[in-house]
């Protein structure tokens, strides 16, 4: 079982002590909740409930240029209409800059992170993998990167995808913690938030499995616990693209939640013959808990293309 995170680990006095299982769903407010997001939300909720654990929601709103006004509010309202109500307070990353700043300052003070003046053009010269600074000039606002050792090979067992291994030094190199434009990088924010919230299990789409090794390295650098990981099948459009990258992202219909939940259930490879004579999302979710079989998700990287890219938004 994952050990609870101590307050001193990330220099925060209000770290939440985790129970045996605490999962989370963490959408970015870049649009309406689409079918792929619903699969991630439902899958993480079902796995939390199967373990008798908690399920929390976090809005990852740290990239203003990509955010859509009102998207976070719409996403939360859609989750509620589907009966997917979090067990803890909703957290917005945009309200947590101080926590990220303290973590970054600690890494810099300990020599585990450094200011990088390399431009994108300079990084392209070495295939985009940063192993040493090659900047010809200092930048007014440099990025900050984690210092990745030459032997930084990370192995972990994914609950659904099995054994994983990545040589972070050759695959990624020194990765960004704070961007040159001043915005926090996803890797830093997600690691700090998972530790601060006491998240013990991270269940998310397979598109993020390659980020896991970087996050584990950062967890080790900060001295916080590593959650258990499970990566769900990735929902694609008919061209094989992740739905959120499509021209139309297959937004779910909040006016017909039981039908949308049933489609997500099928995308999670569950028994299509399961008896769901539900009159409300709450009844549907109760039935789903009884029928859910996590073994059907083992080693499934992608679902069959479920939705055309011209689907209308809800």
> What's the pLDDT at 310?
35
Q: Is residue 306 part of a domain?
A: no
Evaluate whether residue 307 is within a structural domain. no
Q: What residue numbers bound the domain in which 89 lies? A: 7-15+26-297
Q: What's the pLDDT band for 304 if we cut at 50, 70, 90?
A: low
Give the model's pLDDT for residue 138. Answer: 75
Number of domains observed in the structure of the chain? 1
pLDDT at 21 over 70: yes
Mean pLDDT, residues 238-267 taken together:
75
Distance separating alpha carbons of residues 200 and 151, to the nearest angstrom: 27
pLDDT over threshold 90, residue 294? yes
- Please give the full DSSP string across 159-195, using - where no structure is assigned: TTTEEEEEEHHHHTBS-EEE-TTSPBPHHHHHHHHHH
28 annotated ligand-binding residue: yes
Share of the chain above pLDDT 90, in %: 68
Q: What is the mean pLDDT of residues 220-224?
A: 97
pLDDT range class, residue 131, cuts 50, 70, 90: low
Residue 33 lies in a domain: yes
Does 235 fall in a domain? yes
Upper half-sphere CA count for residue 133 (Cβ side, 13 Å): 18
Is 27 part of any known ligand binding site? yes
Task: Report strand pairing: 113-116 vs 143-146.
Answer: antiparallel
Greater confidence (15 vs 36) lies with 36
pLDDT at 248 over 70: no
CATH number of the domain bearing residue 33: 3.40.50.620
Query: What is the rounded distance in angstroms from the CA atom of residue 10 to the CA atom of residue 219?
Result: 10
pLDDT digits (tens, 9 = 90+) for 30-53: 999 989 999 999 999 999 999 999
User: Three-class SS string for 196-216?
Assistant: HCCCCEEEEEHHHHHHHHHHH
At residue 239, does pLDDT exceed 90?
no
The verdict on whether residue 24 carries a ligand-binding annotation is yes
Report residue 236 CA to chain centroid gap.
17
User: Which residues on neighbouring strands pair with residue 156, listed in sequence order?
Assistant: 164
For residues 263-268, average pLDDT: 93
Please state the pTM of the whole predicted model. 0.87
Question: Is the model's pLDDT at 68 over the cut of 60?
Answer: yes
What per-residue confidence (pLDDT) applies to 33? 92
60 is in an annotated binding site: yes
Q: What is the mean pLDDT of residues 201-208?
A: 96
Exposure string over 48-77, b if 16+ CB within 10 A, otherwise e = bbebebbbbbbbbbbbeeebeeebbebbbe
d(Cα 73, Cα 189) in Å, to the nearest integer? Answer: 21
Rounded Cα distance, 195 and 222, in Å: 10
Higher-confidence residue: 64 or 303?
Answer: 64
Specify the higher pLDDT residue, 68 or 244: 68
CA dist., res. 212 & res. 160, Å (int): 14
**Residue 314 domain flag:** no
**pLDDT exceeds 80 at position 130:** no
- Per residue in 144-181, pLDDT (tens digit) is 999 999 889 999 999 999 999 999 999 999 999 999 99
Could you give the C-alpha distances from 118 to 108, 128, 133, in angstroms and in order?
A: 18, 11, 6
What mean pLDDT, rounded, does the chain reach? 85
**What does the pLDDT read at residue 3?**
36
């Amino acid at each position: 079982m994952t050990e609870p995170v101590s307050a001193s680990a990330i220099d925060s006095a209000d770290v939440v002590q985790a129970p045996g299982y605490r999962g989370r769903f963490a959408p970015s407010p870049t649009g309406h909740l689409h079918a792929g997001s619903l699969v991630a939300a439902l899958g993480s909720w079902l796995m939390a409930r199967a373990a008798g654990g908690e399920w929390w929601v976090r809005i990852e709103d740290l990239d203003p240029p990509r955010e859509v006004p009102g998207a976070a509010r719409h996403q939360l309202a859609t989750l509620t209409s589907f009966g997917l109500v979090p067990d803890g307070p909703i957290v917005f990353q945009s309200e947590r800059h101080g926590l990220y700043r303290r973590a970054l300052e600690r890494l810099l003070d300990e020599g585990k992170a450094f200011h990088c003046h390399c431009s994108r053009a300079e990084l392209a010269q070495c295939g985009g993998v940063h192993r040493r600074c090659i900047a010809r000039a200092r930048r007014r606002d440099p990025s900050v990167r984690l210092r990745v050792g030459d032997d930084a090979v990370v192995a972990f067992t994914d609950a659904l995808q099995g054994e994983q291994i990545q040589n972070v030094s050759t695959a990624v190199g020194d990765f960004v913690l704070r961007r040159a434009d001043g915005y926090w990088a996803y890797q830093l924010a997600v690691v700090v938030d998972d530790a601060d919230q006491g998240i013990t299990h991270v269940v998310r789409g397979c598109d993020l499995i390659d980020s896991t090794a970087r996050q584990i390295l950062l967890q080790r650098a900060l001295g916080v616990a590593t959650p258990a990981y499970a990566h769900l099948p990735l929902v694609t459009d008919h061209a094989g693209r992740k739905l959120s990258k499509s021209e139309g992202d297959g937004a779910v219909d909040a006016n017909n939640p039981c039908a949308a939940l049933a489609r997500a259930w099928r995308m999670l490879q569950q028994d299509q013959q399961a008896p769901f004579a539900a009159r409300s999302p709450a009844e549907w979710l109760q039935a789903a808990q009884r029928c859910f079989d996590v073994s059907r998700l083992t080693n499934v990287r992608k679902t069959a293309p479920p939705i055309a890219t011209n689907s209308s938004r809800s």
